[in-house]
Amino acid sequence: MRGTGSPAPTGSDTEKQQLTAPRQKESDMIVRIMGEGQVKLDDSHFAELNKLDDELLSEMETGDEEGFRRTLTALLNAVRTMGSSLPDDALEPSELILPAPDATLEEVREMLTDDGLIPN
């Protein structure tokens, strides 16, 4: 006889991973860096990330390829260092998708919203 509150064993390994995955805090956001994977990031870091996002937008508007590359690298490095990488087999929905480190200015331009890459 099972105790109350225990989930019944079910289906696939995927379902089991989802049932046993640690719950994220309400202030955590899952960020995907294209071509790399997912990072769990506390949303308290978004003020700093938004500064980099604004700088990236400015460089894109002026066509500053060198500045764009430098700022994109800084933005992705900030996400990696401020957050914690999720295992490759984690099945979390991404709330924010960032471009790959080698994305072109044109590819990133296609990903932009009115707020840039990171919503304000």
Closest listed residue to residue 72, CA positions, set 37, 116, 27: 116
Q: What is the DSSP letter of 25?
A: P
Q: What is the pLDDT of residues 50-102, one digit of tens each?
A: 999 999 999 999 999 999 999 999 999 999 999 999 998 888 898 889 999 99
Q: What is the pLDDT of residues 26-44, one digit of tens each?
A: 578 999 999 999 999 998 8
CA–CA dist 22, 117 (Å, integer): 27
pTM: 0.73
Residue with tokens 């700093």: 48
Tokens of 36: 């790399």
Domain ranges of the chain: 26-111
> First-to-last CA distance in the chain?
51
